[in-house]
């Protein structure tokens, strides 16, 4: 019986397949070794990975403290309210509700405050705010007494004017008969206030271009 002669072409093809398989398996083994070494190094702290870095979350900036009333010479019991007509107010909409600044300005004007301008701020606030300088603290307290909730914010302006920013959580002015101040009764400091000379005033904010002056 004659033994068949091996086909050289088939032998060559099989040898090449074995070589390719050896190369592929060699690459896989090398990759696994490198991955294993990297894992060991990361675990031991020899190298840093994105997952080893601390995760930072935004930190909310605390609002500036509200200023206390100034001491007034000749008024040992505290500062008295300022007559409404001597308080110059600008009322700005800092909310997503249109027309709310004009409506508030109308009420304040009818109550006797000197509303000199209305308009829109370029940003929104949640709680309504009064912005004023050191010379306007008593004026701001007098205006704040018209509302059940409003924040007092000290800025770096020189004069005694007061800006009101009407926020998204808006509460309208109380009825005039509900305002608990009288001309001869000293005003009371807000809870948790800080003396003005211990506060760093914010930079005075200006409204958007659409300002209507009275």
Residue 182 carries which DSSP code? -
Residue 214 carries which DSSP code? -
The mean pLDDT of 121-130, rounded to a whole number, is 95
The mean pLDDT of 182-210, rounded to a whole number, is 92
Of 19-28, 42-51, 154-163, least confident by mean pLDDT is 42-51
31 pLDDT higher than 90: no
Rounded to whole angstroms, the Cα distance separating 160 from 142 reads 12
Q: How confident is the model at residue 136 (pLDDT cuts 50, 70, 90)?
A: very high
Single pTM value for the model? 0.70
134: tokens are 């050191």
Rounded to whole angstroms, the Cα distance separating 5 from 13 reads 16
Bridge partners, residue 166, by sequence: 93
The pLDDT tens digits for 35-56 are 666 655 555 555 544 444 334 3
Rounded to whole angstroms, the Cα distance separating 8 from 139 reads 106
The contacts found for 106-114 with CB under 8 angstroms, 24 or more apart, are 107/172, 107/173, 108/143, 108/146, 108/173, 109/214, 111/84, 111/146, 111/173, 111/176, 112/84, 112/85, 113/84, 113/85, 113/87, 113/89, 113/143, 114/84, 114/85, 114/86, 114/87, 114/88, 114/89
Burial bucket for residue 178 (CB in 10 Å: 0-12, 13-18, 19+): exposed
* pLDDT for position 46: 54
Report which listed range, 7-16, 43-52, 133-142, is most confident. 133-142
């Amino acid at each position: 019986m004659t033994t068949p002669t091996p086909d050289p072409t088939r032998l060559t093809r099989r040898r090449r397949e074995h070589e390719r398989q050896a190369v592929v398996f060699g690459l896989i083994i090398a990759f696994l070794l490198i991955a294993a070494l990297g894992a060991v190094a990361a675990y031991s702290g020899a190298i840093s990975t994105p997952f080893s870095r601390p995760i930072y979350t935004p930190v909310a900036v605390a609002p500036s403290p509200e200023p206390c009333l100034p001491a007034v010479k000749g008024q040992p019991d505290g500062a008295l309210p300022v007559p409404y007509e001597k308080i110059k107010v600008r009322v700005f909409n800092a909310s997503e509700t249109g027309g709310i600044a004009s409506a508030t300005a109308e009420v304040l004007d009818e109550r006797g405050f000197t509303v000199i301008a209305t308009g829109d701020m370029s940003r929104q606030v949640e709680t309504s705010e009064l912005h004023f300088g050191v010379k306007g603290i008593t004026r701001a307290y007098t205006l704040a007494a018209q509302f059940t909730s409003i924040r007092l914010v000290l800025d770096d302006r020189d004069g005694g004017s007061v800006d009101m920013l009407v926020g998204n959580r808006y509460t309208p002015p109380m009825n005039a008969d509900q305002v608990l101040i009288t001309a001869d009764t000293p005003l009371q400091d807000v809870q948790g206030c800080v003396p003005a000379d211990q506060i760093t005033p914010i930079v005075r904010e200006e409204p958007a271009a659409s300002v209507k002056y009275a």
